[in-house]
Amino acid sequence: MSALGRRVSPAGSVEDRLGRLDWEAIGRSLDEWGWCTTPPLLTPAECGGLIALYGDDRRFRSRIDMERYRFGLGEYKYFAEPLPPVVAALRERVYPRLVPIANRWAAALDGGGRRYPNDLDRFLAVCAEHGQKRPTPLLLRYGLGGYNCLHQDLYGEVAFPFQLTCVLSRRGADYTGGESVLVEQRPRAQSRADAVVLEQGEALIFATRHRPARGARGTYRVTLRHGVSRVRSGRRFSLGVIFHNAE
Judged on CB neighbours under 10 Å (0-12, 13-18, 19+), 201 is buried
Query: Structural domain boundaries of the chain?
Result: 14-242
pLDDT digits 0-9 by tens, 182-234: 999 988 889 999 999 999 999 999 999 999 998 878 899 999 999 999 999 99
Q: How confident is the model at residue 4 (pLDDT cuts 50, 70, 90)?
A: very low
Q: Please state the pTM of the whole predicted model.
A: 0.95
CATH class of 14-242: mainly beta
pLDDT digits 0-9 by tens, 134-161: 999 999 999 999 999 999 999 999 999 9
Distance set, CA 123 to CA 17, 47, 160 (Å):
23, 27, 9
